[in-house]
Each structure stands twice: as structure tokens, then as C-alpha cells.
Amino acid sequence: MITDASFFVTLALFAFIMSVTPGPNNMMLLASGAQFGFRRTLPHMVGIVLGMASLLFSVLLGLGTLFVLYPPIYLVLKWIGGAYLLWLAWKVASAPVGQLSNTKERAAPMRWWQASLFQYVNPKAWMMSIGCVSSFSLTGDLYVQSGFWIIVFFACMGFLAITLWAWAGVTIRRWLTDDKRQRIFNYGMGFATASTLLLMIGN
């Protein structure tokens, strides 16, 4: 049994810092919180947590070693993830305006299963998962237990981190009182989402 308190404290800090730093998930949550409000963004948040949990589980099972054995796989993943991210950025930038007070909204927030599957083409999610497993998984009899805590802490601290981004979007929502401001915000969020490609290129 893991009894070292420093293991849990360090793991919690790592999970929170990695989850709260800017990336595709957080940019899209900021935009979603502003456009749809917190309640409608909640499934998107749950999907991120579930997707990260399943991704961590896959890495713990050894899926991450494929990138070490076959580097081109990671390159293909980056291209696929980058293309999909650009599509999402365009969707954010071109989102209809004037619908914050419109009951018949034409756009819709990301569904939980879409957010969950997105983690598998999100290079930052892979980077976090592989980095966390390589840093905090313990050998021998403690491997399963340490893997369990890695998933639990990433789920808890990750949810806390992305909640901050979603609530930031809800706060910004109060400023989006006319079509012009909404359009400027959409363009800005689309650009910010696309700019996270720089993180992918650098890793």
C-alpha cells in the first residue's frame, strides 16, 4: 500500500497544473461557457474527464509504448489532431451570434462522447498521460495501485481545473451583450484554439 504522503501531494499538483494550463480543451471550454453557459457546458467537461481517464488507463496498459517503438504513429496522430483542431477552431470562430438570448439556438455545445473521443487525437492529452504514467507509476506490486490513484487524481484535479475555465467563460458571457462583441469573442476564441497547434508542433 502507498503510504508516502508526498506521492499524493505531488501527483495532485502535477495533475492540476497540467490540466489548468492553456490547451485545446480549455480554450473550447472557455468559448462554450461564454456561448452556452455552465450547465450546457457540463457534458463537455464530463467527456473530457472520462476521455482522460480512459486514455490514462490505455497508457497504463502499455499503449503509450507504441510511440516509442513506432515514432511515425505519433506523427500521424499530430497531423490528425491538428486537422481536427483547426476544424473545431473554425466552428468556434464561425459560431452564430445573437443567440445568447435566442431560445432556438442553431449551435450546440460539444457532447460528452465527442469530448471524450477528442482526447485520443489531442497530443497534449497524450503528453500529459504519458508524462504522468512515466513519472508516478510504481513498479512491482504497487503498479496497479499507483495507476488507480493516477486516474483518480487526474479526474478530480482535472475536473477542478477545467471548471475554472468554464466559469471564466460564464463570467465573460455577461460582456457579450450584442452581436458585435459576440462576433469578436468568437473570432478571438477561434484564433486561440488554433494557436494551441504551436504546443503540438513543439512536442
Contacts of 69 (CB under 8 A, 6+ apart): none
pLDDT for the residue numbered 64: 74
Number of domains composing the chain: 1
In a domain, 55, yes or no: yes
Q: Of 8, 4, 24, nearest to 16 (Cα)?
A: 8
In a domain, 2, yes or no: no
25 lies in which domain range? 8-201
Mean pLDDT along residues 179-190:
90
pLDDT, tens only, 134-183: 999 998 999 999 999 999 999 999 999 999 999 999 999 888 888 888 89
pLDDT-based confidence at 74, cuts 50/70/90?
A: confident
Whole-angstrom CA distances from 168 to 20, 35, 57, 130, 163 are 12, 12, 30, 28, 8
pLDDT, tens only, 104-123: 455 789 999 999 999 998 98
pTM of the shown model: 0.88
Q: Calculate the dihedral angle through the C-alpha atoms of 125, 113, 88, 66, rounding to the nearest 10 degrees.
A: 40
